[in-house]
C-alpha cells in the first residue's frame, strides 16, 4: 500500500527555519517525483514545487511565492523527502502536504499533512 | 503568472448532475496543461480524482468524469451523493510550473 507521511511541523517564531519530512512506503521511492503543497487556515491549496527523481537529475522547481526561501531535498536510501523553509513568516502558517508525482509522473497519493504555525 | 479560475460555489441536488469548470487566463485549456482535479473534504487531505483532463484513478467513483469543454476543463458529477459535498480544485501546468484554481465549494442539497 502506497503511503506518504509528513512530519516536522511545529510552532516556530518569525525568522526561524524548519525542515519538514515526507516519509514514503509501499513503492520504489527513487522512481518518483515528490511534490509539495500547502494550505493556509481557511484558504485554498497552493502548489509549492517539486523535486524530480534521480533519473531526471533530482531537479527542483518552486513556485514564485516561495523561491529563494524554500529548498527541496531527498534521500532515496531512506525513502524520505525534505522541505527546508527558511526565514519563516506568519504567511507561511499552513498545513503542508507532500504528494507522489508532479513533473514526470502522475499526481496520485497524498500525505495527511503537517501543520506549521509561525507566531511570536 | 497565469490565473486559473473556478466557480467559487455550486449547489447540486442529491441524484442530480453538476459540471464544474476551470479556465485559464492565458487562453484555452488544452491537453498540454495536463489538467487535474482534486477533491478535499473538511479536515481531510486532498484526493486526486482526475488526471490529464479525463483519466480516473482506481479510487475515483464512476460518477465523476472529466473533459475538455469549450476552452475549459470540466469535472462532471452525475448522480450526486451527499458524500460528494467538498471543495474541488483544478490544477494546470504551464512550462514547468503548476497553478491551482481557487477551488469550487460544492454543496449537495
CB contact under 8 A, B100 and A103: no
- Closest by alpha carbon to A16, among A66, A82, A88? A88
On chain A, the residues whose CB falls within 8 A of the CB of B57 are 108
CB contact under 8 A, A61 and B45: no
Using the CB atoms, write b or e for A4-32: b if 16+ within 10 Å: bebeebeebeeeeebebbbbbeebebeeb
Sheet holding A45-51, edge to edge: A11-12, A114-118, A94-100, A34-39, A45-51, A60-62
Which segments in chain B show pLDDT lower than 70? none
Contact A63, A49 (CB under 8 A): yes
Query: Does residue A71 carry a pLDDT above 90?
Result: yes
Give the pLDDT score at A108.
95
CA distance from start to end of chain B: 36
Plot region of A107 (φ>0 → left; ψ -120 to 50 → alpha; else → beta):
beta
Q: C-alpha B104: how far from its chain's center? A: 8
Q: For residue A35, what is the nearest residue in chain B, using CA coordinates?
A: B98
What burial class does residue A50 get, using C-beta atoms within 10 Å of its C-beta: 0-12 exposed, 13-18 middle, 19+ buried?
buried
Q: Is B32 exposed, middle or buried (0-12, 13-18, 19+ CB in 10 A)?
A: exposed
pLDDT at A40 over 90: yes
**Is the separation of the CB atoms in B64 and B56 below 8 Å?**
yes
Q: How far is B29 from chain A (nearest CA, A)?
A: 18
Which of A97, A108, A111, A113 should one mutate to test binding to chain B, selecting the residue with the greatest count of B CBs within 10 A?
A108
pLDDT at res. B83: 97
Q: Is A106 on the interface with B (CB under 8 A)?
A: yes
- Helix, strand, or coil here: B54? coil
CB contact under 8 A, A61 and B97: yes
Q: CA of B34: which chain A residue's CA is closest?
A: A106
CB atoms within 10 A of CB A48: 24
Q: What is the pLDDT of residues A2-14, one digit of tens each?
A: 999 999 999 999 9
Q: What integer pLDDT is reported at residue A105 of this predicted model?
A: 87
**Whether A35 contacts A17, CB under 8 Å:** no
Within chain B, what is the greatest distance between any pair of CA atoms? 39
Note the pLDDT of residue B18.
98
Nearest residue in B to A64, CA atom: B1
- Chain B residues touching residue A65 (CB < 8 angstroms): none
Amino acid at each position: 500500500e502506497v503511503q506518504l507521511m509528513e512530519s516536522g511541523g511545529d510552532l516556530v517564531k518569525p525568522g526561524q527555519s524548519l525542515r519538514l519530512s515526507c516519509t514514503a512506503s509501499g513503492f520504489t521511492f527513487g522512481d518518483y517525483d515528490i511534490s509539495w503543497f500547502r494550505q493556509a487556515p481557511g484558504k485554498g491549496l497552493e502548489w509549492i514545487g517539486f523535486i524530480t527523481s534521480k533519473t531526471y537529475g533530482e531537479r527542483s522547481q518552486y513556485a514564485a511565492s516561495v523561491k529563494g526561501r524554500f529548498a527541496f531535498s531527498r534521500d532515496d536510501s531512506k525513502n524520505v523527502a525534505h522541505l527546508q523553509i527558511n526565514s519563516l513568516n506568519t504567511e507561511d502558517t499552513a498545513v503542508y502536504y507532500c504528494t507522489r508525482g508532479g513533473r514526470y509522473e502522475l499526481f496520485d497519493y497524498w500525505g495527511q499533512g503537517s501543520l506549521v504555525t509561525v507566531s511570536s | 503568472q497565469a490565473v486559473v479560475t473556478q466557480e467559487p460555489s455550486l449547489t447540486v441536488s442529491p441524484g442530480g448532475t453538476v459540471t464544474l469548470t476551470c479556465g485559464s487566463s492565458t487562453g484555452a485549456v488544452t491537453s498540454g496543461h495536463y489538467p487535474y482535479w482534486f477533491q478535499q473534504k473538511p479536515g481531510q487531505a486532498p484526493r486526486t480524482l482526475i488526471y490529464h483532463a479525463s483519466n480516473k484513478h482506481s479510487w475515483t467513483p464512476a460518477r465523476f468524469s472529466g473533459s475538455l469543454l469549450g476552452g475549459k476543463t470540466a469535472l462532471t458529477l452525475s448522480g450526486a451523493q451527499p458524500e460528494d459535498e467538498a471543495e474541488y480544485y483544478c490544477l494546470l501546468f504551464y512550462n514547468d510550473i503548476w497553478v491551482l484554481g481557487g477551488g469550487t465549494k460544492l454543496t449537495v442539497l
